[in-house]
Chain A
Amino acid sequence: MSAAPASTLKRTPLFDTHIGLKAKMVDFGGWNMPIQYSGILQEHHAVRAAVGLFDVSHMGEIEIRGPEAARQVDYLSTNNAAKLKTGQAHYSALLYEHGGFIDDILVHKISDTHFFLCVNASNQEKDFEHIRASSRFDAQAEFASDRFAQLAIQGPKALPTLQKLTQTYLSGIRYYWFTDDFVDGLPARIAHTGYTGEDGFEVYVSPDSAPRVWDALMSAGEEFGIRPCGLGARNTLRLEAKMALYGHELTASINPFEADLAWIVKMDKSEFVGRRALESALQSGIARKLVGFEMIGRGIARDGYEVWIEGQPAGWVTSGGPSPTLNKNIGLCYLPVAKAVPGVPIQILVRDTPVDGITVATPFYKRAKG
């Protein structure tokens, strides 16, 4: 399964917890991570119906501090960091000069002079090098991954579970806002964010605190049927919500317009890395775009499968699999822009056999807003 021996894989502070829970561990980009505990389907349904707890401590953190931190982050990323309010977060991207993705990131504004970036595990070193090399303003970047563990508590019962352990009034934290407070008496950054399409929080704590906070959350969620959830369920949940995954939907050769992420690119702001490439992409128009699809025939589309339209190769699947919530086989693919709209009949080459599918509107799943 994995190329590297398990002993050389990186571990999160919750490694022993996962082993104690008899998780199935896998090599995920050099990290020894739980792919599942009780089973992906059960964990998936727990998050949709109640609450699930994920260890996402492999994610990276980068802090940017200085009098011109806002201008520096604005220059580095596609979204409008200068417009963030203190205590607010947003989804954004780091781009190469040619407009392709270095990474997709979350930017949190701690103060006018301090920003906190959450980045993908396997990209964190690359991101940090890029950020350092792109220094233009009076601000310093610090690699902070070693100082943070991250737990994601997600699902309709995430709030009442977490509320038992903190005096912060969680209903008062708007979506994509955060606050620094305590969880179970330990300092924590509580962000109203997530990667499941469900309501929930992402909690950043010190690595030392992580096992205690994990146990406290598991106990607090017991009455709701909380389940520990692995990366398997994280993937099926994010796919239903059409949230992009780096290495799949997002790569160095894909730009944000192609990835259907125009909303995180603010062309009306000041200079940023990748801007010129995006301007010419807007002028010449993009050739391909991300679109969702459902399988009609029997078969499951997987990452990398070819997509055909009218007997011709037209694109490729970036993510695919069963949707446990919808009980359908779904996926995302890149297709020529004219075809990247709902209602186009397609065929997926499932291990050399063409299987019918159709493009559909996304997200596949959207929670009822409470």
Chain B
Amino acid sequence: MSYPETYKFTREHEWVHPHGAEAKIGITDHAQHELGDIVFVNLPKVGNSVKRAETFGSVESVKAVSDVYSPVTGEVTGVNDLLAQKPETLNEDPHGEGWLIKVTLTSPEELQALMSSAEYEEYIKAE
């Protein structure tokens, strides 16, 4: 699976897709592959705030639970309710239908520090 050029990536294998003042956040294809079958997703509520590099939820595979860290600071404006019913969507389409939350970007400059898709692909190769 390719990593979209319009997305930015963290070292903890989250992606953020900025769109105007908002952004969608999810975990990368590499992350879902490492986790294996995802069976449970724990997400914040709309209106909660998230902070860059702080955990906002968790993703559980059959084997283990993993924290998800926010790539950016903002306020949650949307949560992917599909994942409560179909957590496997995260395995099937991690960069699309398997998004986790939508946030307002309160500090858009934070995006600068994140990796581009090319940089991220290099990063996971080296890992």
Contacts and interface: CB of A to CB of B under 8 A. Distances in A.
Interface of A: 24, 35-36, 39-42, 232, 235-236, 298-300, 302, 321-322, 324, 329, 351
A322 B39 contact: yes
Given A39-B36, A298-B42, A322-B40, 11 more contacts: A35-B36, A40-B36, A40-B62, A42-B37, A236-B62, A300-B60, A300-B65, A302-B64, A321-B62, A322-B62, A324-B62
Interface string B30-69: 0000001101101000000000000000101111110000
A324 B40 CA distance: 12
A40 B63 contact: yes
Contacts of B40: 298-300, 322, 329
Contacts of B65: 300, 302, 351
Which has the most chain A C-beta neighbours within 10 Å: B37, B42, B62, B63? B62
Top 5 nearest A-B pairs (CB, nearest first) are A40-B62, A41-B37, A322-B39, A39-B37, A300-B60
Nearest to A302: B65
A40 B62 CA distance: 7
A351 B37 CA distance: 21
Interface residues of B, number: 12
20 contacts: A24-B36, A35-B36, A35-B63, A39-B36, A39-B37, A40-B36, A41-B37, A41-B62, A42-B37, A232-B63, A235-B63, A236-B62, A298-B40, A300-B40, A300-B60, A300-B65, A321-B62, A322-B39, A324-B62, A351-B58
Contacts of B63: 35, 40, 232, 235, 321
A42 to B, nearest CB: 8
A303 to B, nearest CB: 10
B76 to A, nearest CB: 18
Q: Main SS of chain A's interface residues?
A: mixed
Interface of B: 36-37, 39-40, 42, 58, 60-65
Contacts of A329: 40
Contacts of A302: 64-65
A321 B39 CA distance: 10
B39 A36 contact: no
Contacts of B61: 40
Contacts of B58: 351
Given A40-B62, A351-B65, A300 B39 contact: yes
A302 B66 CA distance: 12
A235 B62 CA distance: 10
A240 B63 CA distance: 14
Contacts of A236: 62
Which has the most chain B C-beta neighbours within 10 Å: A36, A236, A302, A322? A322
A300 B61 CA distance: 10
Nearest to B91: A39
B9 to A, nearest CB: 20
B57 to A, nearest CB: 11
Nearest to B67: A351
A24 B35 CA distance: 10
Nearest to B40: A300
Contacts of A35: 36, 63
Nearest to B87: A322
